[in-house]
Amino acid sequence: MMQRHSRIYIPGHRGLVGSALQRYLAHQGFGNILTTPRSELDLRDQGAVGQWFDQHQPEYVFLAAAKVGGILANSTYPVDFLQDNLQIQINVIHHSYRTGVKKLLFLGSSCIYPKFAPQPIKEEYLLTGALESTNEWYAIAKIAGIKLCQAYRQQYGWSAICAMPTNLYGLGDNFNLQNSHVLPALIRKFHEAKIHQHPQVTIWGTGTPRREFLYVEDLADACVFLMQNYDQPEIINVGTGEDLSISELANLIQKITEYPGELLYDPSKPDGTPRKLLDVSRIHHLGWQAQTPLPRGIQKTYDWYVTHAQGN
């Protein structure tokens, strides 16, 4: 069990997930949180990562660092998404084990599952079919991270667990239209269209794919819950257990941002996976459930965007 004084390392603490974890742990009274900015430690550099672990000796690690992005970014930079994530994962996992970290939580992604997996997606569906081509490079890297954690557990008996969150959003999200995910991208599109009085907003694809969204503060709560209550080799899904279509999402964001114009869909752009809803019965059985309804989470995220992130 993590104690309030335990040395807790969050690689990727400035990202969406890492920053939420840092806020949540601090709020819960954990006072010994270790972080280091990318400018001071390149997690792709094995030697530098080893030196950092030797010096700081963390006891628990939440591996939230990753190169992430939406369909456009994954399609444009396949080498970066595969190579950078593999390097980060291998270095952090290896040196965590080598220096005696008591437990590591590895954060994967729902994109690890087959494109046409039965819905809702159970954990055992991993590696039972082909991946979605628009994010396969990221997915393959994440699958390798899962297997590396399981390998360390099998060969050395080391406590490494793997959580698979659904699509995330929230405070500190990436709103860059070139490499963001669908929800923050829509927030920015609608807000800017409202400010500049554009008569229409164009949305990629047909609007028919269905997606599940989890507020990142809920994920932080789930990660700490799992670190304290779960120690098995099997991956575990983290989500809400509810989904909606992209068109329904767009209508919801249009209402929250109070954009009065018209919505157009561009079917020449890729839709991605038709549906991606996680089966969260395993984590529910352990005693955890998400607490933030989607409209409330989007409103909080939009308010944060208006205050902090316009133009970024």
The average pLDDT across 129-134 equals 91
pLDDT, residue 273, reads 78
Rounded to whole angstroms, how far apart are CA atoms 294 and 240?
Answer: 9
Residue 110 is assigned to a ligand binding site: yes
Segment (H or E) for 215: strand 213-215
State which CATH number among 3.40.50.300, 3.30.70.100, 3.30.1300.10, 3.40.50.720 fits the domain covering 8-170+213-241+277-292. Answer: 3.40.50.720
Q: Contact 159/231 with Cβ under 8 angstroms?
A: yes
pLDDT of residue 132: 87
Q: 51: pLDDT confidence band, cut at 50, 70 and 90?
A: very high
- Note the residue count of the chain: 312
Q: What is the mean pLDDT of residues 32-42?
A: 96
Residue 100, pLDDT > 60, answer yes
Candidates 24, 60, 113, 138; catalytic one: 138
Residue 109 annotated as binding?
yes
DSSP letters, 85-131, are HHHHHHHHHHHHHHTT-SEEEEE--GGGS-TT--SSBPGGGTTSSPP
Domain locations along the chain: 8-170+213-241+277-292
Among 12, 6, 22, 14, smallest CA distance to 220 is for 22
pTM summary value: 0.94
* 139-175 pLDDT, tens digit each: 999 999 999 999 999 999 999 999 999 999 999 998 9
31 is in an annotated binding site: no
Are 20 and 219 in contact by the 8 Å Cβ rule? The answer is: yes
Known binder of ligand: residue 44?
Answer: no
Indicate if 60 belongs to the active site.
no
